Structure 1
Amino acid sequence: MGSGNAIRGSRVGAGPMGEAERGEAAPRVRVPFWCANMHVTRPSFASDAPIPELWDCPRCGLPAGQDKSNPPAPPKNEPYKTHLAYVKERRSDKDGAAILAEALERLRASRRAGNSGTTVTY
């Protein structure tokens, strides 16, 4: 049994993809981008394509720019805010106390009227 079968593992129609089968490649330009950690990446673009202002660094994920001496600053990560933190941004303590007093008064009135107080509509 011979093990020198040249087409073993090949598909029908498979072969080397040459320039003739793919077509001609567009003219390319390589543009360097630097991140705040001074990593450099050089993606290639078609020569007639617009070059983006920022590019994500593949090593650290920070934004990278074309100016080596002045790379873009890392984005500021905002800490996770709870629902209460967002409410406190919109309402003062005085407003919160007034809303709480109004809700408690509605609840007390509902209980005085004989309702169980578990369902309160606003």
Structure 2
Amino acid sequence: MAGGNAIRGSRVGAGPMGEAERGDAAPRVYVSYWCANGHQTRPSFAEEPGLAIPETWDCPRCGFPAGQDEANPPAPPRVEPYKTHLAYVKERRSDADGKAILDEALATLRERKLIQ
């Protein structure tokens, strides 16, 4: 048996693959983005001609949109509250329209003698 301190399955010179075996990495450009909460993120993009760098980037810490201008970051999106069906109807109809529709429906039910 071999000694107890030998690492099985390894050989001299074995190690993690490095740049020499994978080839050179593509040139990168780092762009800073700031969100409304003051967080900075610096994603890297491949430095290729014609490659468009996005104007905004989602902040990985808070999820708000982040822009390249630190002094004027984009505003956080407005969250609209949940609206009920009645709220949507009230947006489309005035009180007078609602009363006219209700009177028409009641008249139809009275004709069919379903209500008094």
Please report the TM-score for the alignment, with normalisation by the length of structure 1.
0.73
Tell me the distance in 1 between the aligned counterparts of 2:104 and 2:22.
Answer: 73
2:31 corresponds to 1:31: yes
Determine which of 67, 70, 86 is the counterpart of 1:68. 70
Tell me the distance in 2 between the aligned counterparts of 1:92 and 1:3.
Answer: 87
Secondary structure, in 3 states, of the residue corresponding to 1:108?
A: helix
Secondary structure, in 3 states, of the residue corresponding to 2:105?
A: helix
Question: What is the letter of the counterpart of residue 66 of structure 1?
Answer: Q
CA deviation profile, 1:68-110 (whole Å, cap 9, x unmatched): 1111111111111111111100000000111111111112212
Q: Aligned in 2, Cα 1:19/1:95: closer, same or farther, shift over 3 Å? A: same
Secondary structure, in 3 states, of the residue corresponding to 2:34?
A: strand
What is the CA distance between 1:52 and its match in structure 2?
Answer: 0.8
Please report the TM-score for the alignment, with normalisation by the length of structure 2.
0.76
RMSD of aligned residue pairs (Cα, Å): 2.6
2:41 is matched with 41
Tell me the distance in 2 between the aligned counterparts of 1:21 and 1:81.
Answer: 59
What is the CA distance between 1:25 and its match in structure 2?
Answer: 3.3
Count of paired positions: 107
Determine which of 38, 51, 54 is the counterpart of 1:52. 54
Question: Quick one: higher RCO (CA 8 Å, sep 6+), 1 or 2?
Answer: 2
Residue pairs, 1:98-113, within 5 angstroms = 98-110=100-112, 112=113
Tell me the distance in 1 between the aligned counterparts of 2:54 and 2:85.
Answer: 37
Runs of 5+ unmatched residues, structure 2? 10-14
Tell me the distance in 2 between the aligned counterparts of 1:73 and 1:18.
Answer: 43
